[in-house]
Chain A
Amino acid sequence: MANEKLRYPLITAGVGVLFFLAVDTEPAFAHKDKHTAEQLQAFEEVFMEQVKIGDLLFHGDPETQKRLNVNLSNTGTACAMCHPYTSDTHPHQFPKFQEQMNEFATLRNMINWCIEKPNEGEKIDPDGPAMKALEAYIYWSNRNSKLDPGRH
């Protein structure tokens, strides 16, 4: 019985709170402010930091591999030895059917194939920091290439 006595005052208070929230608070927006130059610079810095890490990984830097706990090669070779300037990596053509893998592949699939086959290294987490950095560097270096997915 005591609970029933309390019910109506509680409901009344709850409705009051909801009314207050509906009337007196700002609605939530995903992008409520215009971007400032500082923000854009910060975004760029975040991206370029990943590009630089990817560049170091791509060129076989042992310290960066150790820090990210990856082993991209067991033969002394590095990605850049076959792909100077990331040439012939063709990120703009993925996803596509990749002959060597005999499957429809993404750039990340191809990166791991290269690590495992020619480099005889150890496959990396496809969503991990090393993969993201490699992807950032390869895309950055090819940023002026023509997007052409599926092209061989």
Chain B
Amino acid sequence: MKWTRSCVSLALIPLHKSLLYGTTGAAAYGLFFPLINTIDIAFAQGGQSFKFAWISDTHLYPKAVNKRFVEKATRAIQEVQAMNPPADFLIFGGDMAQLGDPVELQLGAELLKEITIKKVFIPGEHDWYLDMGATWNKMFGAAPWSFDYKGVRFVGLDTVSHAEDFWTSRKMSAKERMGNMATLDGTLGGAWAAVGAEQLKWLNSTLASWGKDKPVVIFSHNPLYEYFPPWNFWVRDWRGVHEILKPYSNVTNIHGHTHQVLYNEIGKLRSIGMLATSWPWPYAPEGVPILTRPMIRVDPGEPFDGVGWSIHTMDPTGHVENQYKMWRKEVFADAGVDSNAQDSHEVLSPRVADRI
């Protein structure tokens, strides 16, 4: 496959339906949630329609430790490979491994061999903090990167390698460092998710040569807005990212890490959260974007429930349409009782045992 630069001629700027419905519709379950799994109106012609697939958050342990995660990653991989017509490429969105072990990363690479289309990769924190990304970069290449394909500029960011050093002064081993970083609600890792000054500069210069009205898709492990910082459901320098993206009218961020159905819009930036193949996370205690139609509460006794992968369709206007491939009939909750989002009765506290 040849990756070429081309551009989409836009007669009008696409107007997303959520801008028409506003937040009132999004606040009520099941009434007006046209944001995902719907076809947006095409205001312009000239671009090319194509599909790409997303898999992330497989969190693989060595096969002997956990077979279920292998089975679920395998199912996603087989389904991507079975797409007919095939996707144009696969983006793997990070957290391939659970504890950054080269054995885990090697297992992921072996499983992914089944997918024969082009594959691109960005890292997650679980892939990184055992050896500070050495194995990951060697096996899957370093981020950031960008490429142009059928009129869209695709960008892959590293949002995981910028943790403040909490390990040296505590004389932690590499495994202890990784263990802390692998704990979502751990306190020592702090606000580790970031794009970083150098990468922000790179992003700015990478986009500078791209038309302001042309489609841009940015892949990141963490969401590029502030959802729930204690679990790093953000990047700490998200304001800087938005400042750079402000002149661009058609930017979509597709991210992993949150293991749940998520949708948000800030200015002209759309953000779509992806499912994990490993396990779903409950919605954070606060900060769930009002534009998110919450996913259904899943059965913890069914390992394949609440997880999956995604197909993204780029329509001729340069608008990304996401289809969650969750392994169940119903993806979205129609009522609060079927969702764990916005439970006003539940008030939670941060953990204590790892605080200094």
Q: Which residues of A contact B (CB under 8 A)?
A: 48, 51-52, 55-56, 59, 61, 75-77, 80-88, 90, 92-93, 99-100, 114, 117-118, 140-146, 148, 151-152
Contact = CB atoms under 8 A, between A and B. Distances in A.
A7 B68 CA distance: 81
Q: Is the interface of A mostly helix, strand, loop or mixed?
A: loop
B351 A76 contact: no
Interface stretch (B10-18, B73-81, B339-347): B339-347
Contacts, number: 95
Given A76-B98, A81-B184, A117-B301, A55 B353 contact: yes
Interface stretch (B32-40, B86-94, B278-286): B278-286
Q: Is the interface of B mostly helix, strand, loop or mixed?
A: loop
Nearest to A84: B185
A93 B345 CA distance: 9
B185 A56 contact: no
B349 A144 contact: yes
B183 A118 contact: no
A152 B230 CA distance: 27
Interface string B61-88: 1000110100000000000000000000
A110 B61 CA distance: 26
Contacts of A118: 300-301, 303
B110 interface: no
Given A80-B184, A82-B300, 15 more contacts: A59-B183, A59-B354, A80-B351, A81-B279, A84-B184, A84-B231, A85-B230, A85-B349, A140-B352, A141-B349, A142-B348, A142-B349, A143-B349, A146-B344, A151-B345
B183 A87 contact: no
A114 B300 contact: yes
20 contacts: A52-B352, A55-B353, A56-B353, A59-B186, A59-B353, A76-B65, A80-B183, A82-B279, A82-B300, A83-B282, A85-B185, A85-B348, A85-B351, A86-B348, A100-B300, A117-B300, A140-B352, A141-B351, A145-B347, A146-B345
